[in-house]
Amino acid sequence: MTKILVIDDDLNICDLLHMYLVKEGYDVQTANDGIEGMNVFRAYAPDLVLLDIMLPKKDGWQICREIREQSSTPVIMITAKGETIDKVLGLELGADDYIVKPLDMKEVFARIKAVLRRYTRHGPSENGIVRYDDLEISLDKYEMKVKDVVYDLPPKELELIYYLAANYNRVFTRDQLLDKVWGFDYLGDSRTVDVHIKRLREKLEPAQSKTWALKTIWGVGYKFEVNTKEAKQQ
């Protein structure tokens, strides 16, 4: 049974989500502040977290950061503001999606199912690795390695760089990447791609290479550019 952890200081929202999610067949636990939320997260090992931003003791930003430091468990942020800055910050910290209060339960179910579907879509494969000289991206291990340094990326970052690298020298629009990496049923917008590309660049920047590069094609989208025929791709 899929386990969902709800972290929200609003008891009514916790009760509402618990009732509806249990009726949908999920196993659900709730927590009402940030410290309790992290304690339950470690003990419960949920498959997905619904995380409110405005929490006592530890806010949602800090909780999301701590979850990402130790796990790739999908996180859906819950925000009452609905402001772009909240959504972007959540994505930059590693959240997979966001929901704006007041909650619409049909939207909540749709986003949960979409995130879980994206998270479990890629199973083990014999050829789930791409290599270009000092860069190795493994979809089997959900791991990127550059110059023997291992980067434990959140699932969507890994899937995005893997897809671009596996289709090197091809330019993809943001909508194409949303479709191929997030899935056609993704309910977010194209800024999600920009945020993930920005985070990947920050991690790849110290490993500058003459062989490969993550490129922006202004006005179009992004591509993984391979500059030499000597680069080995597997």
pLDDT per position as a tens digit, 150-179? 887 888 899 999 989 888 888 888 888 888
Q: Are 175 and 155 in contact (CB under 8 A)?
A: no
Q: Establish whether domains 3-120 and 129-226 are of one fold.
A: no
Question: CATH second-level architecture of 129-226?
Answer: Orthogonal Bundle (1.10)
* Torsion angle of the four alpha carbons 83, 84, 87, 91, in this order, in degrees rounded to the nearest 10: -160
What is the structure's pLDDT at 15?
95
Per DSSP, the three-state class of 197 is helix
| Cis status of the peptide bond prior to 206, with omega within 30 of 0 | no
What is the tens place of the pLDDT at every residue in 106-127?
A: 999 998 988 887 665 433 334 5
Domain ranges of the chain: 3-120, 129-226
Mean pLDDT across the stretch 48-71?
A: 89
Kindly state the tokens that stand for 103: 């909650």
CATH number for 3-120 (one of 2.60.40.1180, 3.40.640.10, 3.30.70.980, 3.40.50.2300): it is 3.40.50.2300
What is the tens place of the pLDDT at every residue in 177-234?
A: 888 888 755 656 668 889 999 989 988 887 767 788 899 988 889 999 887 444 444 4
Residue 13 has pLDDT above 90, yes or no: yes
Confidence of residue 63 (pLDDT cuts 50, 70, 90): very high
Measured CA to CA in angstroms, residue 83 lies from 56, 90, 108 at distances of 20, 11, 18
Kindly state the tokens that stand for 152: 């434990």
